[in-house]
A and B are shown apart, each in its own frame.
Chain A
Amino acid sequence: MILNALSSILKEAESSRAGTFFPMGFSERGVCEEMMTEPGFACLSAALRGTRKGEVDLQTVAWYQDALIPKLEQSRKQLGKIVVPASLTAGVSPTVRSAELLFDRLQNVLEHVEDFLHDECGESLDKAISLLDVLQEQFGRVF
């Protein structure tokens, strides 16, 4: 009897464990749940993948595109405002260069996405996803 009770308690505990405590950042359709407040290129990456699988429509991608263009511009301006004193240039310049490079590449991503939205060309979509993959890896190391 005790063993049966024990089994049911353990079963209950295991079934509770099956879910995750906090939901993931992306819904099943690959759409970023943070999109409504603060979109980022990491979310665009997931959305583009969803598009390739047919889970995310073009309108959603266009929505990301529209939100990210001013966002990128704003970050570029923010970076431009940071004036590093000469005594610190050696220590800070590599990070600034990495950020500038990142923003340039993200601009390229947006152009590929623009091409994709314009003529629905799979090649542009693949280029955008590949570039975002490379940036994802570099981004984690630098920032």
Chain B
Amino acid sequence: MLLRDASERDSLYRDLREQDPDIWEPACHRLGEMAAADKVAYRVLCDLLLSSAPELRLRGLVALRILAPAKPVEVGRFLTDRVAEARVQYDPVLLDVTFFAFTALPKQAGKDLVAGYLTDPHEGIRAAAAAALCFWPDWPTGTLEKMAGDSSLDVRAGLITALAELEDSTERSRALEILKRSNEPLLEELLGELDQDTLAFPPEPAPLALDHIQINQLLHSPRPTPVDIARLEQALSQDPERGLTLVRDGLDAPGSTAVLQQLSDLCRDNGLGTLFRTWGGVLRLRYLPAKEFLLSVLGILEGHSQDEFLRPLREFLKASVQAVDGETTLDLVAWCYNRQVGNAAVAVWSPGLRSGPALAKEAQEWLDALARTGAEFEGASLFQLSNLKTELTRLTGRFQSSCPRPERDILQAVVNEWQRVLDRDIEQMMGGEVA
């Protein structure tokens, strides 16, 4: 069964990305079967597995299970590579599904690989391996007991999920005894669930949104988990403006860069993901020279989404880039007048361009204040240049305390560049080079 032509390829591409599982699941199966014999289909499958969207990677794993019996070596290598990746970027959901895919490998190949991971130094990998023990019934004596005595709580919790599926045996009972002796509240709760015949499905399957305090704690965490990020995203979905304010307030926290990075990858809304990617870019790149910094940040924003709600931030960034696009003080002052004219036009055309949830309202006001300050510059005399420099310093002190991040970092870059240009002009004037 080969991909006959481009239209069939296009159709498969579309079906794999459909919302309806009745369409994408058969497409995954079709792709898995095709990939065994057709190089193009195999490449399509690899692209899916390496996609930046976690959902598409999961769909790729569904297709991979179909391919595994036909290409065990390639699939085995692919799965072990994904486990190795978990050491760098830990996603427990993907890791669990990866371990589930080991079961599709023929004979005992998958079991041997999982056995190797039971002693892995990474506790997340050991936990996923422990949870996968239930897929093979015949483990060597002592395996379950050894895992029950693991120092990691996650590993022991993973083992309990496996024990729930395994048939009753002496080995299983001994492992349960060891787990009960640990007196950990989480394990006790999980062990309690083992005794229930049926578990009620949670009434609300969506992740529980984080509250204000939890968001603040998350932004201070050096290693946020994808589950926490999913809950943060839920909080943002429930009340976008409040959620954005909370994230904005926590930008000074040490874990904020990691949270923004993960949020931008996991956000279901592309516009919001782009906003966080841009914010992350501001925090990461703010030490670069002003022009390079502002252009890089604008590039991040322009490159990922044209969402309407990002428009105020886009216009603000463009104005900031234009503000530093000058080599002399007069160029900067010309920008001030152009900004004032532009503001008059925007006010009558579309006032909404200047404000919205993606941009702190104070940011536009401070950029306008900068334009007003520059427009008071009356001529290229040493006194005027020094005066403008003093005003800029005063302005900086004021917006530092009243403009929130990350817009404050953008304004700071503009002012830094202005200071640099002014210093150079003052120096030239003192040296008598400028008339």
Interface on A for B, CB 8 Å cutoff? 2-3, 6-18, 20-22, 24-25, 34, 38-43, 68, 71-72, 74-75, 78-79, 82, 84-85, 87-88, 91-92, 95-96, 98-99, 102-103, 106, 135, 139, 142-143
Q: List 20 A-B contacts (CB under 8 A).
A: A6-B58, A6-B62, A11-B20, A12-B206, A15-B19, A16-B206, A16-B237, A16-B268, A20-B307, A22-B271, A25-B308, A40-B348, A41-B350, A71-B347, A87-B379, A92-B337, A92-B341, A99-B345, A103-B348, A143-B345
Binds A, one of B107-115, B139-147, B290-298, B326-334: B326-334
Shortest CB-to-CB span from B227 to chain A, Å, is 13
Contacting residue for B348 out of A11, A71, A98, CB 8 A: A71
Inter-chain CA distance A7–B58, complex, in Å, is 10
Chain B residues numbered 218-275 whose CB sits less than 8 Å from any CB in chain A: 237, 240, 268-269, 271-272
Chain B residues numbered 336-360 whose CB sits less than 8 Å from any CB in chain A: 337-338, 340-352, 356-357
Inter-chain contacts of A106 with B (CB < 8 A): 348-349
Chain A binding surface SS class? helix
Chain B binding surface SS class? helix
Task: Say yes or no: A99 contacts B97, CB within 8 Å.
Answer: no
Closest to A16 in B: B268
**B431 interface contact, C-beta 8 A:** no
**B193 interface contact, C-beta 8 A:** no
Chain A CB within 10 Å — which of B271, B345, B351, B380 has the most? B345
Task: Say yes or no: A11 contacts B21, CB within 8 Å.
Answer: yes
**B55 interface contact, C-beta 8 A:** yes
Interface on B for A, CB 8 Å cutoff? 19-21, 25, 55, 58-59, 62, 97, 100, 205-206, 237, 240, 268-269, 271-272, 307-309, 330-331, 333-334, 337-338, 340-352, 356-357, 378-380
Task: Say yes or no: B272 contacts A21, CB within 8 Å.
Answer: yes
Chain B CB within 10 Å — which of A2, A20, A142 has the most? A20
Inter-chain contacts of B21 with A (CB < 8 A): 7, 10-11
Task: Say yes or no: A20 contacts B334, CB within 8 Å.
Answer: no
Shortest CB-to-CB span from B224 to chain A, Å, is 19
Task: Say yes or no: B237 contacts A72, CB within 8 Å.
Answer: no
Inter-chain CA distance A74–B343, complex, in Å, is 12
Task: Say yes or no: B97 contacts A6, CB within 8 Å.
Answer: yes
Closest to B380 in A: A87
Inter-chain CA distance A10–B117, complex, in Å, is 28
Contacting residue for A34 out of B59, B307, B349, B352, CB 8 A: B352
Inter-chain CA distance A41–B345, complex, in Å, is 10
Inter-chain CA distance A79–B347, complex, in Å, is 11
Inter-chain contacts of B347 with A (CB < 8 A): 40, 71, 74-75, 78
Task: Say yes or no: A10 contacts B352, CB within 8 Å.
Answer: no
Shortest CB-to-CB span from B38 to chain A, Å, is 24
Closest to A139 in B: B349
Task: Say yes or no: B334 contacts A92, CB within 8 Å.
Answer: yes
Using A21-B271, A22-B309 as known contacts, say yes or no to A11 and B19 having CB atoms under 8 A apart. Answer: yes
Task: Say yes or no: B308 contacts A24, CB within 8 Å.
Answer: yes
Inter-chain CA distance A75–B340, complex, in Å, is 11
Task: Say yes or no: A96 contacts B309, CB within 8 Å.
Answer: no
Inter-chain contacts of A20 with B (CB < 8 A): 269, 271, 307
Inter-chain contacts of A85 with B (CB < 8 A): 378-379
Inter-chain contacts of A75 with B (CB < 8 A): 344-345, 347-348
Inter-chain contacts of A68 with B (CB < 8 A): 348
Task: Say yes or no: B345 contacts A21, CB within 8 Å.
Answer: no
Contacting residue for B349 out of A9, A12, A102, CB 8 A: A102
Inter-chain CA distance A74–B330, complex, in Å, is 28
Inter-chain contacts of A11 with B (CB < 8 A): 19-21
Task: Say yes or no: A13 contacts B55, CB within 8 Å.
Answer: yes
Closest to B19 in A: A14
Shortest CB-to-CB span from A113 to chain B, Å, is 15
Inter-chain contacts of B20 with A (CB < 8 A): 11
Task: Say yes or no: A84 contacts B352, CB within 8 Å.
Answer: no
Closest to B355 in A: A38
Task: Say yes or no: B19 contacts A38, CB within 8 Å.
Answer: no
Inter-chain CA distance A6–B205, complex, in Å, is 12
Inter-chain contacts of A87 with B (CB < 8 A): 330, 379-380
Closest to B351 in A: A38
Task: Say yes or no: A7 contacts B25, CB within 8 Å.
Answer: yes
Using A9-B205, A82-B337, A91-B334 as known contacts, say yes or no to A22 and B357 having CB atoms under 8 A apart. Answer: yes
Contacting residue for B55 out of A10, A24, A41, A74, CB 8 A: A10
Contacting residue for A25 out of B240, B341, B352, CB 8 A: B352
Inter-chain contacts of A39 with B (CB < 8 A): 351
Task: Say yes or no: A12 contacts B338, CB within 8 Å.
Answer: no
Contacting residue for A2 out of B100, B340, B356, CB 8 A: B100
Inter-chain contacts of B378 with A (CB < 8 A): 85
Using A10-B21, A22-B240, A91-B331 as known contacts, say yes or no to A40 and B350 having CB atoms under 8 A apart. Answer: yes
Inter-chain CA distance A41–B350, complex, in Å, is 6
Task: Say yes or no: B346 contacts A143, CB within 8 Å.
Answer: yes
Closest to B103 in A: A2
Shortest CB-to-CB span from B53 to chain A, Å, is 10
Inter-chain CA distance A39–B348, complex, in Å, is 8
Inter-chain CA distance A121–B301, complex, in Å, is 43
